[in-house]
Amino acid sequence: MQQKMRTGALVLAAGWMLGGCAGTETTPVPLGDGAEGTLIDCSGWRLGVSDCIEAANERCDGEYQVLASTAEQWQARTGVTGLLSDLDRAMIIRCADE
């Protein structure tokens, strides 16, 4: 019985730790002008805004414009900015060359 509890606790702890190691997620999103932007989600508990910035730099070779972020207070989250409403830390960017 004690061995089963110990094994169960180890499995639970490993799953919890691996879940926190997830990196940023990038998702293509259509912009209102027909161009394509990128939603960068860095909402994981071990992630921060610097992880969003790093992902944006990698995605766009350092040349991008932040169109919206969860750090900004939006009056009405409509269109593509509505994607940010359920995220803790995220931003929508447009690469300079796109």
Residue 15 belongs to a domain: no
Residue 58 belongs to a domain: yes
**Domain range spanning residue 64?**
23-95
DSSP, residue by residue, 2-26: HHHHHHHHHHHHHHHHHHHT---EE
Which one has a higher pLDDT value, 54 or 76? 54
Residue 3 belongs to a domain: no
The mean-pLDDT minimum among 32-36, 45-49, 94-98 falls in: 45-49
Number of domain units in the chain: 1
Instruction: List pLDDT tens digits, range 45-61.
Output: 888 888 999 999 999 99
Residue 52 belongs to a domain: yes
Mean pLDDT across the stretch 26-40? 92
pTM score: 0.67
Instruction: List pLDDT tens digits, range 77-87.
Output: 566 767 677 67
Tell me how far apart the alpha carbons of residues 38 and 91 are, in angstroms, rounded to a whole number: 8
Residue 91 belongs to a domain: yes
Residue 11 belongs to a domain: no
